[in-house]
Structure formats: structure tokens, C-alpha cells
Structure 1
Amino acid sequence: MEDQNNLYDKLKKMIGDKSANINILQEQIDVKLQMKYFQRAKDIKKTLDKEYDYLSEVNKLYDPEVPTEEKQDLICALASFDKVDYYRALEKYKAHAEEEMQPWVTLGLQESRMLIESELLDEKQLFVSTGLGGKGTNLRYFVVLINNDDEHYTDVQKELIGKEFEYTIKKNGGELEEVHFEEKFAMLTCLLPIEKPVQEILSNTTKECNSFGKFIHEHFLITNVKKMTTDEIKEFLESQAKSDEFTIDLDQNDNPDNEIDNIDPKPE
């Protein structure tokens, strides 16, 4: 497996010598919906009336007769100002919002909070969002380990994988949330600090497991976009097998579905 720069290194290059506060989206929100929000928010900002009081329209958010798209636009507008009362209005609405609006208002709250913090702290704000979200300053990853013999893992192998990965991930400041075995796959969901070299950690742990018998394929699948089903994993592996270069490592840093945005209180 080739060495990859981790996401934290890329973030440091983005901000240069400036100090910055990194904000990680905590919730698990579909990546396509996130991209829709970011694009819509960008469009809304082009037509904002800075003198208008958007709080006067907040009641529309609670009106079942108001179209979803209109509510989404209002949330984007409220989230575009560094005003605490706008943030509180979004926060109050989130407690009562219908399920389909929860992801949208969550993204709006995140943007609003970053703008306010940027203004108060006079510090660049970086927003990192992925489909699987995170916890604190940790990003969540979905990892697939493939049995080297195309067989089900034995009970001993399952126990070894669980213990080794739990120990290593915890040692690196993370958390192993879930381990699930199905057919020839071991599927792990874990949290790791954004500054840690994720692929290196997982690769070294795989090698440690293989010191007890080379039963795990040296390549593994890792993504922070979504948890994959067994059928999706098989489909992905089949597509990779047909390509000229066979690799099943998904580098989160090269994934176009990751979103990194920044807010600078004093843009040049």
C-alpha cells in the first residue's frame, strides 16, 4: 500500500502559518444532501439582503403549508449571518423540526456557529464534513478486512481482530465502535483523531494480526462516506478486479465526497 498524506496535513497546508479551529460535523448525514446544502447556501448568499430582518420569517419554518424548499432557503439565509439571535432561532427550530428537515438545519447550525466563532475569536474556522460524521475531533471510518483464503473468519481470528484493533485504535486516541463479520469480510466502524495517519495505523494492525497466520488480505477498504453493505463491498471489489491496477484502499483524502470549507474572519 502506498503512503498517503493524511487529512490533517492537507488542512495545515490550507491554513499555512495562520491559527485555525477545526470543526468536524458530528452527525451522519448523506453526502449528496450535504453537497446540495453547500451549493444552495452558496447560491443564497449571492442574493442576501444584509439590511433585511430574516427573523421576521422564522414562523414559516413551523408552517406545514410552506414548501420544503422555501424552508431550506430560509435556513441557509439565517445561517449566513454571524448573529446570535439567528443561531438561537435555528437551534429552537431544530428541537421541533420534522425528520426530513433535521439534516438541513443541522448543517445550518454548524455554519452559523462557525461564523459567530470566527467573528468572536478572530480565527479562521475550518469545517470538515463526511458522510459518517465524527465525534469531537475524531473522524468516523468504515473499514473492511478481507479474508485471505476467501473463507469465513474462525472464532479465534474474530477474537484476535477485535482485540488487536480495539487496543491499537484506543492507543491512538480513538474508539472501536463496532465489529461485524459476514462471509469473508470483517467490517469495523471506528473513530480516530483527524491528525492521525489512519491508513498507517490500520495497515500496521493488520500486519500484527497476520503475524499469527497470514489470514487477512494485505489491502483493505476504508471510507468515511458511508457504511457499505456486503453486496456493495462485493460490487466494489469486482469493479477493482477489472481495472488495470488492483487496489482496494479508499483514501479519505482523495475522496471528492469529503467537504472541507473554511471561514476566515478577515479574508484577504
Structure 2
Amino acid sequence: MKEEDHLKHIQDAINGLPEDFNILEEQIDIELQIAYFEMAREMRAESMDRSTIAEVKTALYHPDIELEEKKRLLVQLAAIDDVEAFRIIEAFHKQADDEIKNWSVLALQESRMVIQSSLLGEQQVFISTGLGGKGQNIRYFVAMMHAEAKTPFNETQRKLVESEFRFFLSESEGELEEITFDDHFVTAVFLFPLKQNLHATFKSFIDECNQYGNFLSEDVIITNVKKLDVDEIKEFIKKAKNGRK
């Protein structure tokens, strides 16, 4: 009951979003995102003067400027309502090293939002997850298990799961990106509209599959934080079972 209430609160919050919102498309580690937004919040008082934009541009490319300082400069640039600042971040991002590439993605997205908010006269909504998204769809990772513990899916069951999953996703304007059968698990990465009811779609999908032998467990792991490997899935299941005792 508590879990259903939690899901309802999440769905209510999602339903309260405006019609137009922005989703971060890139897959960026959630810890890095937290670090970026914490720095952005801390530095809001350190507003950058537009007259210093040219100096900042030079500093971003200077070999003697340390990585942490470049991160701070990008955060400061992103807060400026100025197309020139956006273009500087955009150019830097295109040639950025791997160690700062994802940071520049977040700065670019924030700069875009600041400018859009100013032009449209209303606050823009920005949604980011570890797995990113596409358009107004969020990317999810799911792990499903065979109803009989440690039993592998046979060929017929594999074909059924994949075909039904594709069908139910397409009916909801979602998209299956990849699916893998490994041992007694099936894992998949898929896109799903943020405002659609994911819980209801999965229930219908599992019910449909189980008309052909009740082989698919109703317990699933769904996350938009990162892809899980088999060991992480097993550890999650173990913790969930211990929590029920």
C-alpha cells in the first residue's frame, strides 16, 4: 500500500508539469549532475559581469587554468542571459576533453534554459536523469525475472517477451532500444513518455505475457539512474527479499 501511494505521488507530480519541458538527452552520471547543480547553487551570488565574458573565453582554453576552475567558469557563464555566453560554452563543449565533456553538456543545457526563460517570459522546466532521454521521453533500464527462481527463459518465452514489450511500448509512444536475455533475467533499455503511466503499462504487459504460462515474475526492477549489471541485479533482489522478512 505504501509503495502504491509513493507511485501515486510521483505520478501526481509528473502530471503537474507544464506541457513544454526539457529533458537532458545525454547519459551523465547522476553524481556528476548533483555536483554541477550544487556548485551552480553555491555560485549564484557570484554573478559574472558581461564585460568579462571575453576574458573567461580566453581562460577556458588556457593550459595553465586548472580543471576545477574551468568548471567554475562554465557554471558562471551558464547563468548569464546572453547568447554570446551560450556560444562560448557551445564551442568549448565541441572540443572539450572527456574529463570535462559532460560538465560542459550541463552548462550548455542550463545556458539554453536561461535564455529561453528570458525570451519566453516564463520559467523553463528541466528534467535530468542518469540515463537521459529523447524528446519528452525518459530512458529507463528494466530487469525482469523468470517466475521460477533461477530458471532460464526458453526460446518461445523470449520471443513472446520481446514482441509484447515492443507492442506495449509502441502503444504508449515509447521505444525499445535494446533487450538482452542473460541467465534467468531479461534486461532492456527503453524510452517512455514521462507523462504516461509506466506502472500501468508494465502491469498490462506482464499480465499479457502470463496468459501463456505464468512464467514472468511480477517483481521488476526499473531505474532511470543507470544500467545495472547481473551482480547488481542479484544484490538488489537479495536486499529486497531481506527487507520483506
TM-score by length of 2: 0.93
| 2:8 corresponds to | 5
Residues 180-238 of structure 1: CA deviation (Å, up to 9, x unaligned): 01111100110011110111111210111111110011111100000000000001111
Q: Please tell me whether the aligned partners of residues 142 and 220 of structure 2 are also in contact (alpha carbons under 8 angstroms).
A: yes
**Structure 1: distance between partners of 2:224 and 2:9:** 13
| 2:123 corresponds to | 124
1:64/1:152 Cα in 2 relative to 1: closer, same or farther (>3 Å)?
A: farther
**Structure 2: distance between partners of 1:157 and 1:12:** 35
Q: Please tell me whether the aligned partners of residues 81 and 115 of structure 2 are also in contact (alpha carbons under 8 angstroms).
A: yes
Quote the offset at 1:136 in angstroms.
Answer: 0.7
* Equivalences for residues 138-217 of structure 1 within 5 A: 138-150=137-149, 151-217=151-217
Q: Please tell me whether the aligned partners of residues 139 and 192 of structure 1 are also in contact (alpha carbons under 8 angstroms).
A: yes
* 217-226 or 52-61, which deviates more: 52-61
**Structure 1: distance between partners of 2:63 and 2:172:** 47
| 1:136 corresponds to | 135
SS of corresponding position for 2:237: helix
Indicate the structure whose relative CO is greater, using CA pairs within 8 Å and at least 6 residues apart: 1
| 2:93 corresponds to | 94
Q: Please tell me whether the aligned partners of residues 6 and 195 of structure 1 are also in contact (alpha carbons under 8 angstroms).
A: no
| 2:223 corresponds to | 223
Identity, in percent, stands at: 37
Q: Which runs of 5+ in 1 are unaligned?
A: 246-268
Q: Please tell me whether the aligned partners of residues 61 and 71 of structure 1 are also in contact (alpha carbons under 8 angstroms).
A: yes
| 1:260 corresponds to | none
1:46/1:25 Cα in 2 relative to 1: closer, same or farther (>3 Å)?
A: same
**Structure 2: distance between partners of 1:172 and 1:97:** 37
Q: Please tell me whether the aligned partners of residues 20 and 123 of structure 1 are also in contact (alpha carbons under 8 angstroms).
A: no
1:32/1:82 Cα in 2 relative to 1: closer, same or farther (>3 Å)?
A: same
**Does 2:68 correspond to 1:64?**
no
Letter in 2 for 1:192: F
SS of corresponding position for 2:126: strand
1:32/1:221 Cα in 2 relative to 1: closer, same or farther (>3 Å)?
A: same
1:73/1:118 Cα in 2 relative to 1: closer, same or farther (>3 Å)?
A: same
Q: Please tell me whether the aligned partners of residues 141 and 224 of structure 2 are also in contact (alpha carbons under 8 angstroms).
A: yes
**Structure 2: distance between partners of 1:12 and 1:52:** 42
TM-score by length of 1: 0.85
Q: Which runs of 5+ in 2 are unaligned?
A: none
**Structure 2: distance between partners of 1:84 and 1:49:** 14
* Equivalences for residues 26-41 of structure 1 within 5 A: 26-41=25-40
* 88-97 or 59-68, which deviates more: 59-68
**Structure 1: distance between partners of 2:230 and 2:156:** 22
Letter in 2 for 1:71: K
Quote the offset at 1:143 in angstroms.
Answer: 0.7
Q: Please tell me whether the aligned partners of residues 7 and 194 of structure 1 are also in contact (alpha carbons under 8 angstroms).
A: no
Q: Please tell me whether the aligned partners of residues 27 and 132 of structure 2 are also in contact (alpha carbons under 8 angstroms).
A: yes
Q: Which has the higher helix share?
A: 2
Letter in 1 for 2:115: I
1:51/1:124 Cα in 2 relative to 1: closer, same or farther (>3 Å)?
A: closer
**Structure 2: distance between partners of 1:6 and 1:179:** 30
SS of corresponding position for 1:29: coil
SS of corresponding position for 2:212: coil
